[in-house]
Structure 1
């Protein structure tokens, strides 16, 4: 018996990452972006799918610009795709400019202090290194204010010490196609970037791509859509699912009408029931509110062609599901149950847990037995 087969025997939960679907999603988004370059956000460990594997698959698909959140992610992306540009969205950490330079990382400069530090370092080595400049268009999180941007544009001495290669901002209501917030952000972005003529611009995240060409500019940087999640608040999600989370049935038991199930006695059985106990829980990133105790009611799971509902609260390591209506030969000890994937979307489960697909994906725990399928064969990033 191989080590892989032994691992499979010992796994209570497993996670399958479809790298072919990831590549397909990037190609689809690139086609929607028109003439803009399509980059990729691979922060949060590639939205839970594994940063290095995601970067390699995306590079093979044609992606040449990656966005990470922190320098450690940038180093991993650089190793996985050495020919790509790697931006660090979290900015320039103090006293670390030389480390960014040595690693070939491009900082996204989010405040005046970071700009001064990067400019000073570039001056010290007499080399105008590349950087992106983040503009705050209304989110009040990171980026230069309009007054700071105006002052910077007039400071040719400071700007001349480094090479601005991207002016960027971030949509914060992009998932709502009818909101006026994004339209206001778009105008602010145009006004602020007009101060820096000739520098490429980037505003669109996944949602921004679907808002249309006015938001595309020179570079788009999709995130959640790459990994199969829904970027827009309404309408059909055109993206292919990338991550499939499954749990093994550890045992089957009978429950009787009037009995309660799980912590807090949050659910009372209304009929005699057949119950499957699954080897997964909130320690694996499956949210507690997805169970019966949540205000939206229980999430669904899928087993061998049948949709089933969770029973009771989600525990740290265990979940109960109602398999009363599933034929016995389709629901046996050791069978695998899809918690989310092609039949139960990650966004559907997230909605039951009063959260978003981003949080479920990036919170995937370490106990899953991971496997990667449909990896591109001609991987030039290696």
Structure 2
């Protein structure tokens, strides 16, 4: 079956945390026989910050971020068996959603893939004519980046025919243990772009422990932090390309995950960083959110922190041997339970069930 996927970017992780999610999941679907075309706008300087070139397993279409470019890619929706519009493309989001529904073949499955479901649901709750809310009666399914039972219940209450969480996972061909790189040596490292709905939590879970442990070394990777006041023991590295993520995760004693506000509130939303770090065999410290136990076992496969004080205590207590043991256990868990091949198998079953249901309805 042919998939037309309209998203932010497959080729660049520049201000685009969903890139590795798209790559892992769509690559795994391609291995199951799906013919995939990914449509991304030439926007936000992403094309000059590519992490990968167009892959063999998907056709990449980069469209001019203008009305003409929009029209040209919408026309191609008619050629697909499955049409998917992702949230957060960044340009022409309402027009893309309405346009792909208008242009899709009558027999095609039409889906919305929400990579920030908690935020989208919050917007829909405050806006009865929100573009996604208006589109729900025309959609065969909503897939979400996470969110678990609370998100499924909320989308169902708004009228979604089907809501299916598809969690982040590991692509072991991309994220795996490598040799340490001295430049990334630290007691604790964090990879996170500066975003308004996460900055306060990063202040608590990263800047606060760094302030309380001046003798320890901290590394912060990600865009937007240049003018943020920080303790002297934090080294800012700016954007860290995906080719360096394994070394960034493998080298320090521990790495930190900090959820965005909306994802922490709803729970059941592990970030890509969780699985990338675990896949590299890193010792992961994460802020607390409901549902962690679905993915990693606290104290054995991950360390959980309720606040910055907990983070500092974890760092003080960690020995190299314990850090390695936690990283090893996390790697074994994600390889066994949380790969994109497993996620793709779930999506494949859902697509087939949806197609069968559509045939029965048309009969």
TM-score, scaled to structure 1: 0.30
Relative to its length, the structure with more helix (as a share) is: 2
Report which structure shows greater RCO (CA 8 Å, sep ≥6): 1
Q: Which has the larger radius of gyration?
A: 1
